[in-house]
Amino acid sequence: MTHPTTFGDLLEQHEREIYAYALRLTGDRDDADDVYQDTFLAAFRAWPPPRRGAERAWLYRIATNKAIDRGRRAKKFVRLGDLPIAAPERDGVSLADLATAVKTLPTGQRAAFVLRKVQGLSYAEVSHALECSEEAARSRVAEAMKKVKEAMR
Amino acid sequence: MTELGAIVADARERLVARARREGLETVGYRIIDSPLGPLWVAVGPRGVLSIHYGAEPSPLELRRIVRAYGPGVLPDARRVDDVARELDQYWSGKRHEFDVAVDLSPLTPFQRKVLAVTSRVPYGELITYAKVAHRAGNDRAYRAAAGAIGDNPIPIVVPCHRVVASDGTLGGYAGGLDAKRHLLKLERGAAVPPGGWPPAHLSRS
């Protein structure tokens, strides 16, 4: 993937996965729309992106922070109606797993779960997106997985 | 388009509108269809900045735009509507002159002068590279004039296809000589003769 020269490059290269990520984190199209917009506008304002190859994790970091901020402000009940639009495309994670994660995990832990298990980021990228060490990222993902499994029993 | 793809396309429109309102977008672009294939068209605050043959601009073209207007170059169909409509009218033979503003400000003064001369060549007429250099104020600079015409960032609207060699042969064209033949046939109503036009067909003034 080429290093973006313009906002348009950044948008065209990453908007789909960032939107899907936002939808998987929030379960709701309106919320996802806000996270997607806030993420890219923040990225444009913070231009230029970080070093070549790091812009994807950078966007995930912004999106995660935007989703956590919204989670703090948002209502307590969770709507999952729009989740099937971004049903996971990976082996080992089902739509039911994702719905359980959205319902039961706090936004930060949910982000760890979705980044690793659904978006398929490496632990190095997850740690960058969550602004923590790789070890902490591993343990957050493991913890999130454990909670999802427990909740599904 | 998948359901997610359609939703993202909708969300993008709203995002671009917000970026425009907040002054983050400086240049909008869109790929439009034409009888000569896809064209990448960009419009900036002062007018049309680029019409590029193909679905993507060259890195050089993009750098030129970013140098002039910063990185706020975003896909924005609406900003390209006016020139897209005029191009449609041109392809159907209903438009002989373009009314949209063009922005040549990122170019050098000499390039601007050469392209301003080129812009004044009427629909269906021909001019030589040497004559363009002459009208731009420098008889000897016909090679440089040919270079500036070859680098024209806004072909079709700035009609560099009307510029040919002094012997009546086509010379060059950024979109390829078939594209140049197509444009000249559209405007002159007859196919380009093999070997070009006799010099009598060329503008003498």
**Residue-wise DSSP of B34-54:** -TTS-EEEEEETTEEEEEEEB
Q: Mind listing the pLDDT tens digit for each residue in B59-85?
A: 989 999 999 999 999 999 999 999 999
Q: Which CATH architecture has domain A7-152?
A: Up-down Bundle (1.20)
Q: How far apart are CA B150 and CA B170, in angstroms?
A: 12
CB within 8 Å: A11 and B7: no
Most A CBs within 10 Å, among B8, B22, B43, B61, to test the A interface: B8
Active site residue B160: yes
Nearest CB partner across the interface for B7, out of A11, A37, A85: A85
Q: Does the CA dihedral A6-B86-B154-B35 come out positive or negative? A: positive
Mind telling me how many Å the CA of A13 is from chain B's nearest CA?
12
Q: What is residue B204's predicted lDDT score, i.e. its pLDDT?
A: 54
Mind telling me how many Å the CA of A32 is from chain B's nearest CA?
10
Instruction: Note the residue count of chain A.
Output: 153
pLDDT band of A75, cuts 50, 70, 90: low
pLDDT band of A152, cuts 50, 70, 90: confident
Q: Mind listing the pLDDT tens digit for each residue in B107-133?
A: 999 999 999 999 999 999 999 999 999
CB within 8 Å: B29 and A45: no
Nearest CB partner across the interface for B15, out of A40, A47, A86: A40
Q: What is residue B65's predicted lDDT score, i.e. its pLDDT?
A: 95
Q: How far apart are CA B52 and CA B61, in angstroms?
A: 9
pLDDT band of A76, cuts 50, 70, 90: low
Task: Answer yes or no: pTM beyond 0.80.
Answer: yes
Burial B73-92 (b: 16+ CB within 10 A, else e): bbbbeebbebbbebbeebbe
pLDDT band of A1, cuts 50, 70, 90: low
Confidence check: pLDDT of B14 > 70: yes
Question: For residue A14, what are its two tokens?
Answer: 């990453």
Q: How far apart are CA B127 and CA B115, in angstroms?
A: 13
Q: Are strands B39-44 and B73-75 parallel, antiparallel or unpaired?
A: unpaired
Contacts of A85 in chain B (CB under 8 A): 3-4, 7
Contacts of B14 in chain A (CB under 8 A): 33, 37
What is the four-CA torsion angle of A40, B73, B65, A47, rounded to 10 degrees? -10
- Find the distance separating the first CA and the last CA of chain A, reported in whole Å: 41
Q: Edge to edge, what strands does the sheet with B39-44 contain?
A: B47-53, B39-44, B27-32, B73-75
Average pLDDT over chain A, rounded to whole? Answer: 89
Q: Mind listing the pLDDT tens digit for each residue in B84-93?
A: 999 999 999 9
Q: For residue B107, give the DSSP letter.
A: S
Measured between CB atoms, does A30 come within 8 Å of chain B?
no
CB within 8 Å: B8 and A19: yes
Confidence check: pLDDT of B106 > 60: yes
Q: What is residue A36's predicted lDDT score, i.e. its pLDDT?
A: 97
CB within 8 Å: B24 and A44: yes
Average pLDDT over chain B, rounded to whole? Answer: 93
Q: Cβ(B43)–Cβ(B27) under 8 Å? A: yes
Domains of chain B are: 3-91 (3.30.160), 109-201 (1.10.10.10)
Contacts of A44 in chain B (CB under 8 A): 19, 24, 72
Q: For residue A151, report the phi and psi dihedrals to the nearest 5 degrees.
A: -65, -25
Q: For residue B122, report the phi and psi dihedrals to the nearest 5 degrees.
A: -65, 160
Q: Mind listing the pLDDT tens digit for each residue in A38-47?
A: 999 999 999 9
Q: How far apart are CA B159 and CA B115, in angstroms?
A: 9
Q: What is the 3-state secondary structure (H, E, C) of chain A?
A: CCCCCCHHHHHHHHHHHHHHHHHHHHCCHHHHHHHHHHHHHHHHHCCCCCCCCCHHHHHHHHHHHHHHHHHHHCCCCCCCCCHHHHCCCCCCCCHHHHHHHHHHCCHHHHHHHHHHHHCCCCHHHHHHHHCCCHHHHHHHHHHHHHHHHHHHC
Report the pLDDT averaged over residues B128-154: 92
Q: Which of B43, B102, B160, B202 is catalytic?
A: B160
Confidence check: pLDDT of B200 > 80: no
Count of Cβ atoms closer than 10 Å to residue B58 Cβ: 15
Contacts of A37 in chain B (CB under 8 A): 11, 14-15, 18
CB within 8 Å: B4 and A20: yes
What is the four-CA torsion angle of B9, B13, B15, B21, rounded to 10 degrees? 170
Mind telling me how many Å the CA of A143 is from chain B's nearest CA?
30
Which residue in B has a C-alpha nearest to residue A24's C-alpha? B4
Confidence check: pLDDT of B104 > 90: yes
